[in-house]
Amino acid sequence: MSKIKKVEKFLEDFLKKKEGKINIKNLLNKNLVRNGILDSMDIIVLTSNINKKFNIQINLASQTTLKKFEKFRDLVDLISKKMK
């Protein structure tokens, strides 16, 4: 499985646990923060899970990084680029 697919699956599983049954295709064009899918606590928990799962560090003090949590595709790109 490619690293992008692994990241997509990980995020999809996280969102399904949080939201219940969801269709990822419907989330691709939505702002995850503005639409209430991710709140500040979700971002902290998700970041911790990402750090553990993929052994990478995500800097939440960066506005640029925080903006990546708004879109599913941007978040996948952020994580996959940090992976070895």
The two structure tokens encoding residue 81: 């680029």
| R_g (Cα) of the chain, nearest Å | 12
The mean per-residue pLDDT over the stretch 18-30 comes to 80
Q: Within a 13 Å sphere around the CA of 83, how many CA atoms are in the beta-carbon half? A: 16
With bands split at pLDDT 50, 70 and 90, how would you rate the model's confidence at 3?
Answer: very high
> What CATH number has the domain bearing residue 26?
1.10.1200
The mean per-residue pLDDT over the stretch 52-64 comes to 94
How many structural domains compose the chain? 1
Please state the pTM of the whole predicted model: 0.89
Q: Which domain holds residue 48?
A: 3-82
The mean per-residue pLDDT over the stretch 7-14 comes to 94
With bands split at pLDDT 50, 70 and 90, how would you rate the model's confidence at 21?
Answer: confident
Contact 14, 46 (CB under 8 A): yes
Contact 59, 43 (CB under 8 A): no
Residue 28 has pLDDT above 90, yes or no: no
